[in-house]
């Protein structure tokens, strides 16, 4: 499918950067060549954290939480020997700092 | 593909000043005529319908599913163990059709006309599509195990699709005498839910420990190792002593023939095991409609482009969930949901003639050893060299106190509630 795109991916990124207003929050992943949209990143989290069902369960809702708190918590999970968790520390390793920041901002901006 | 009329129409309609959502994805495609049809209202299909409408609220989305109520395989083992009732496994489509604006068609798709891009329904109806998503789950391979066909499954249930089969196995287990032998026949990889048989063994043991403590559970396995094996074996031993015995391939665990009338399983070396209750999980393949649409290969599963899960064989058809070849991702409900999100974004990008956004997928599968004893496996997957790779992941620690096992059991229940509510609920 990529072959059909008329401009190469570097120009696409520049194009994205030009459009990078608060409405276009794709972020760069360190590992992958192309950024993963924050909606795609956040969708993965919904497998356990979808609101409002998570309310009242041991799994916390993310929508509307403070961005700094969210970022700090995610970085704690990612740190070697960080916060004891059941599975968070196992899935969060692959996210870059930029992605975690984007996730924190994304969830903070959602209505709880 | 640049001659795709839908693409041209869309491009014309959207022009250069296309509206963008937070994801940079085009919105209101339906005004331009993008019709997305989904076959299968299970974990992958229903989640895809929800995700499409979330990313593109005006999109024309049709979901084809024959059942009024979807019964989940997840937690069907808990029903067998007596931890949940049957009703709790059921989820209906009311919210999808009402508040979420998805057209739900109660029908079975019997064929796909890939030239004219139409899905044929069992009642003669035709549903046209611009993009088609198939999430039909699995079919049993009735030709793969001697003596095991659809009629035999009425006596030796597989209970690997939730519904009547699950109830049948439940009834048989309840009717078994104390001291009875419960035999489970387990296939080689790949199959739906790699840890599923071993969780089932624990849940059957949980029931037997309380009601039929002299009973035994014998697992005859066509492979030499399985998901979370050390954790399962530790848990089985700690909670159920020697009630569960696992026999792997090398120890003559592979069953080559079953006899439904005699409730007999015969192994590769000719050993015969006679059971009081026999649960046969046969080899599997993609759901029939995937074969009709000619997206399966000789393995019976569907090869897909890893970035989007579009079929490698038929353009415009995307296949997610258990039917797709997505290794190293397991065939789990969690993965089907994750794939739905990525593929929804890819379908929207394709309709707008844009390259698909980069994917990331997550998985966490919980298994219950006992009501207060949970274990799990997790992974994060990304594209590496145009193939799916696990970038991080792991399983519960072997050394852990009861506190962690309890928390994982609680999280299993939380996960089920959150996931089913996110897909079928408000
Ligand atoms: C015992 C057991 C326990 C499990 N536990 C877990 C767990 O704890 N966690 C987990 O993540 N996964 C678990 N799984 C795996 C999970 O059930 C599957 O991975 C998941 O259901 C796959 O989703 P799917 O959309 O591919 O298929 P399904 O969820 O099976 O959905 C397929 C749907 O398509 C419909 N369909 C099929 N053909 C057609 C057609 N021609 N026309 C119209 N509709 C059609 C079917 O009616 C069905 O509703 C378990 C599985 C089993 C067997």
d(CA A9, CA A97): 22
Q: Which residues of chain B are within 8 Å of residue A90 when distances are taken between CB atoms?
A: 378-379, 392-395
Q: Is the link from the previous residue into B190 a cis peptide, with omega within 30 of 0?
A: yes
Band of the pLDDT at A13, cuts 50, 70, 90? very low
**C-alpha A45, offset from chain centre:** 8
* pLDDT score for B250: 98
- Read off the pLDDT band of B26 (50, 70, 90): very low
- The CA distance from B285 to B280, in Å, is 15
Choosing from B104, B153, B333 the residue with most ligand 1 atoms within 8 A of its CB, the one to mutate for a pocket test is: B333
Write out the two tokens for A92. 């969060």
Q: What is the pLDDT of residue A112?
A: 80
Contacts with A, B 351-370, CB within 8 Å: 353-362, 364
Chosen for mutation from A8, A20, A21, A39 (greatest number of chain B CBs closer than 10 Å) is A39
Cα separation, A37 vs A21, whole angstroms: 14
Q: Quickly state the pLDDT bin for A33 (edges 50, 70, 90).
A: low
Query: Residue B379: which region, alpha, beta or left (left: phi > 0; alpha: psi -120 to 50)?
Result: beta
Per-residue pLDDT, averaged over B334-357, amounts to 97
pLDDT at B406 over 60: yes
Helix axes A97-108, A67-78, angle to 10 degrees: 140
Among the partner-chain residues B353, B392, B413, the one whose CB lies closest to the CB of A91 is B392
Position with higher pLDDT, B151 vs A13: B151
Mean pLDDT of chain A: 74
Mean pLDDT of B44-58: 96
pLDDT at residue B20, rounded to an integer: 38
Closest-lying ligand 1 atom to the alpha carbon of residue B333: 11
Quick one: residue B321, left, alpha or beta (phi over 0 = left, psi -120 to 50 = alpha)? left
- Cα B102 to Cα B58, B67, B96, B106, B265, distances in angstroms: 10, 16, 6, 12, 46
Q: What is the pLDDT at residue A54?
A: 58
Between A9 and B183, the higher pLDDT residue: B183
Q: Is the peptide bond before A31 cis (omega within 30 degrees of 0)?
A: no
pLDDT tens digits, one per residue of A61-84: 899 999 999 999 999 999 987 777
- CB-based contact (8 Å) between A19 and chain B? yes
Res B38: pLDDT: 98
Average pLDDT, chain B: 93
Out of A77-91, B26-40, B129-143, which region has the weakest mean confidence (pLDDT)? B26-40
pLDDT in tens, B65-111: 999 999 999 999 999 999 999 999 999 999 999 888 999 999 999 99
Instruction: Mark which residues 33-92 of A lie under 8 Å from B by CB.
Output: 33-41, 43-50, 53-54, 57-59, 86-87, 90-92
Could A87 and B378 be called an inter-chain contact, meaning their C-beta atoms sit closer than 8 Å? Answer: yes
* Residue-level pLDDT at A71: 97
Is the ipTM, as predicted for this complex, more than 0.95?
Answer: no
Atom of ligand 1 nearest to the CA of B72: 17
Looking at residue A84, what is its pLDDT? 73
Residue (of B360, B358, B396) closest to B378 by Cα position: B396
Give the containing element (helix H, strand E) for A36.
Answer: strand A36-37
Indicate the Cα dihedral angle B394, B396, B398, B399, nearest 10°: 120
pLDDT surpasses 60 at A29: no
3-state secondary structure labels for all residues of chain B:
CCCCHHHHHHHHHHCCCCCECCCCCECCCHHHCCEEEEECCCHHHHHHHHHHHHHCCCCEEEEECCCCEEECCCCHHHHHHCCCCHHHHEEECHHHHCCCCCEEECCCEEEEECCCCEEEECCCCEEECCEEEECCCEEECCCCCECCCCCHHHCCCCCCCCCHHHHHHHHHHHHCCCCCEEEEEECCCCCCCCCHHHHHHHHHHHHHHHHCCCCEEEEEECCCCCCCHHHHHHHHHHHHCCCEEEECHHHCCCEEEEECCCCEEEECCCCEEECCEEEECCCEEECHHHHHCCCCCCCCCECECCCCCEECCCCCEEECHHHECCCCCCCCHHHHHHHHHHHHHHHHHHHCCCCCCCCCEEEEEEEEEECCEEEEEEEEEEEECCEEEEEEEEECCCCCCHHHHHHHHHHHHHHHHHHHHHHHCC
Residue B98: its pLDDT value, please? 86
pLDDT of residue B52: 97
Judged by average pLDDT, the poorest of B63-67, B171-175, B180-184, B413-417 is B413-417
Structural domains in chain B plus CATH codes: 3-137+287-424 (3.50.50.60), 141-280 (3.50.50.60)
pLDDT tens per residue, range B290-312:
999 999 999 999 999 999 999 99
pLDDT at A8 over 50: no
- For residue A42, give how far its alpha carbon lies from the nearest alpha carbon of chain B (Å): 10
Evaluate if residue B378 carries a pLDDT over 60: yes
E strand or H helix that includes residue A37: strand A36-37
Query: What was the pLDDT predicted at B1?
Result: 35
Distance CA B201, CA B235 (A): 11
pLDDT value of residue A25? 39
pLDDT of amino acid B426: 62
Percent of chain B residues past pLDDT 90, beyond the cut: 91
Q: Is the shortest distance between the CB of B416 and ligand 1 below 6 Å?
A: no
Residue B121 near residue B109 (C-beta atoms within 8 A): yes
- Going from the N-terminus, what domains does chain A have, and what CATH number goes with each? 4-108 (1.10.760.10)
Q: Looking at the partner chain, which of A9, A23, A40 has a beta carbon nearest the beta carbon of B341?
A: A40
Q: Is B256 exposed, middle or buried (0-12, 13-18, 19+ CB in 10 A)?
A: middle
The residues, ordered by sequence, that sit 6+ positions from A87 with a Cβ below 8 Å of its Cβ are B364, B376, B378, B411
Span of A21-35, B200-214, B236-250 with lowest mean pLDDT = A21-35
The β-bridge relationship of strands B255-259 and B264-267 is: antiparallel
Mean pLDDT across B254-279: 98
Is residue B23 within 8 A of residue A40, CB to CB? The reply is yes
Protein residue whose Cα sits closest to atom 5 of ligand 1: B74
In the predicted model, what is the mean pLDDT of residues B322-339? 98
The number of the ligand 1 atom at minimal distance from the alpha carbon of B47 is 25
Band of the pLDDT at A85, cuts 50, 70, 90? confident
Q: What angle do CA B193, B102, B32 make, to 5 degrees?
A: 115
């Amino acid at each position: 499918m990529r072959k059909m795109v008329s401009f190469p991916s570097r120009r696409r990124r520049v194009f994205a950067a030009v459009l990078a207003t608060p409405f276009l929050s794709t972020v760069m992943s360190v590992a992958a060549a192309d950024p993963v949209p924050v909606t795609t990143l956040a969708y993965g989290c919904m497998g356990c954290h979808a609101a409002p069902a998570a309310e009242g369960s041991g799994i916390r809702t993310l929508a509307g939480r403070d961005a700094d708190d969210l970022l700090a918590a995610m970085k704690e999970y990612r740190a070697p020997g960080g916060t004891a968790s059941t599975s968070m520390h196992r899935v969060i390793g692959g996210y870059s700092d930029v992605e975690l920041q984007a996730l924190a901002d994304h969830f903070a901006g959602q209505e709880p | 593909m640049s001659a795709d009329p839908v693409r041209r129409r869309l491009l014309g309609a959207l022009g250069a000043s296309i509206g963008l959502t937070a994801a940079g994805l085009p919105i209101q495609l339906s005004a331009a005529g993008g019709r997305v049809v989904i076959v299968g209202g299970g974990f992958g299909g229903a989640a895809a319908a929800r995700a499409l409408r979330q990313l593109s609220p005006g999109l024309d989305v049709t979901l084809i599913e024959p059942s009024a109520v979807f019964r989940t395989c997840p937690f069907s083992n808990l029903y067998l163990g007596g931890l949940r009732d049957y009703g709790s496994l059921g989820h209906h489509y009311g919210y999808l059709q009402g508040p979420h604006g998805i057209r739900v068609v109660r029908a079975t798709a019997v064929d796909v006309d890939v030239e004219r891009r139409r899905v044929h329904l069992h009642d003669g109806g035709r549903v046209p599509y611009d993009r088609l998503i198939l999430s039909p789950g699995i079919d049993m391979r009735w030709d793969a195990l001697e003596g095991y066909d659809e009629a035999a499954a009425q006596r030796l249930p597989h209970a690997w699709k939730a519904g009547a089969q699950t109830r049948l196995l439940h009834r048989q287990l309840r009717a078994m005498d104390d001291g009875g032998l419960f035999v489970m026949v387990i296939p080689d990889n790949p199959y739906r839910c790699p840890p599923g048989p071993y969780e089932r063994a624990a849940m059957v043991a949980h029931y037997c420990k309380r009601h039929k403590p002299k009973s035994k559970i014998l697992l005859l396995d066509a492979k030499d190792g399985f998901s979370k094996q050390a954790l399962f074996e530790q848990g089985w031993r700690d909670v159920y002593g020697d009630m569960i015995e696992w026999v792997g391939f090398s120890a003559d665990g592979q069953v080559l023939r079953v006899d439904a009338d005699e409730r007999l399983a015969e192994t590769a070396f000719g050993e015969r095991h006679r059971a009081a209750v026999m649960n046969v999980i046969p080899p599997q393949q993609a759901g029939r409609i995937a074969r009709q649409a000619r997206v399966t290969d000789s393995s019976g599963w569907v090869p897909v482009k890893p970035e989007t899960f579009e079929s490698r064989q038929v353009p415009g058809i995307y296949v997610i969930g258990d039917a797709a070849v997505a290794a190293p991702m397991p065939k789990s409900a969690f993965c089907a949901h994750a794939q739905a999100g990525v593929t929804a974004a890819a379908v929207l990008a394709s309709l707008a003639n844009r390259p698909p956004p980069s994917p990331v997928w997550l998985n966490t599968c919980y298994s219950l050893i006992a009501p207060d004893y949970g274990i799990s496996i997790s992974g994060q997957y990304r594209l590496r060299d145009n193939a799916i790779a696990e970038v991080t992941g792991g399983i519960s620690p072997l050394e852990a106190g009861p506190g962690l096992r309890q928390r994982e059991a609680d999280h299993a229940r939380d996960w089920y509630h959150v996931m089913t509510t996110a897909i079928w609920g408000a």
